[in-house]
Amino acid sequence: MAEGAGGRPGVLDEVVRFLRQQEELGLDPVVLEALDRTEVGRLVAAALRRPTVHSTRGGEGERPPAHAPASKATPSHAPESKSSSPGTPAQTPVSKPTSPADPPSAAARPDSSIAVEDLPDTHDALRELALGCTRCGLSEDRTQVVFHDGNPEARLMVVGEAPGANEDRTGVPFVGAAGQFLDLILATVGLSREDSVYICNVIKCRPPGNRNPKPDEIAACAPYLKRQIEVVKPEAILAVGTFSAQLLTGKDIALGRIRGEVYSYEGTPLVVTYHPAALLRNSGWVRPTWADLQLLRGVLDGTDA
Site of interaction with ligand URA (CB under 6 A): 63, 160-164, 167, 173-174, 178, 201, 241
The nearest distance, CB 75 to ligand URA, in angstroms, is 25
Please say which residue, 174 or 290, places its beta carbon nearer to ligand URA.
174
Minimal distance in Å, beta carbon 164 to ligand URA?
Answer: 5
Integer Cα distance of 210 and 96 in angstroms:
18
Q: Which is nearer to ligand URA, 160 or 223 (CB)?
A: 160
CB 69, min distance to ligand URA, A: 18
Could you give the CA distance from residue 180 to residue 35 in angstroms, rounded to a whole number?
6
Report the residue number, 181 or 290, with the smaller CB distance to ligand URA.
Answer: 181
C-beta of 119 vs 277, nearer to ligand URA: 277
Q: In terms of CB distance, is 47 or 177 closer to ligand URA?
A: 177
Q: Which lies closer to ligand URA via its Cβ, residue 63 or residue 73?
A: 63
Backbone φ and ψ of 160, nearest 5°: -95, -160
Q: DSSP readout, the chain? A: ----GGG-HHHHHHHHHHHHHHHHHTPPPP--S---HHHHHHHHHHHHHSS--------TTPPPPP-------------------------------S-TTSPPPTT--TT----GGGS-SSHHHHHHHHHT--SSTHHHH-SS----EE-TT-SEEEEES---HHHHHHS-SS-SHHHHHHHHHHHTTT--TTTTEEEEES-SSPPGGGPPPPHHHHHHHHHHHHHHHHHH--SEEEEESHHHHHHHH---S-HHHH-SSEEEETTEEEEEE--HHHHHH-GGGHHHHHHHHHHHHHHHHT---
| Residue whose CB is less far from ligand URA, 90 or 131 | 131
CB of 281 to ligand URA, least distance (A): 13
The strand pairing partners of 273, in sequence order, are: 240
Residue type, 96: K
Residue closest to ligand URA (Cβ): 160
Nearest distance from C-beta of residue 100 to ligand URA, angstroms: 22
- Least Å from the CB of residue 64 to ligand URA: 9
Which CB, 44 or 200, lies closer to ligand URA?
200
- State the minimum distance, in angstroms, from the CB of residue 159 to ligand URA: 9
CB of 191 to ligand URA, least distance (A): 17
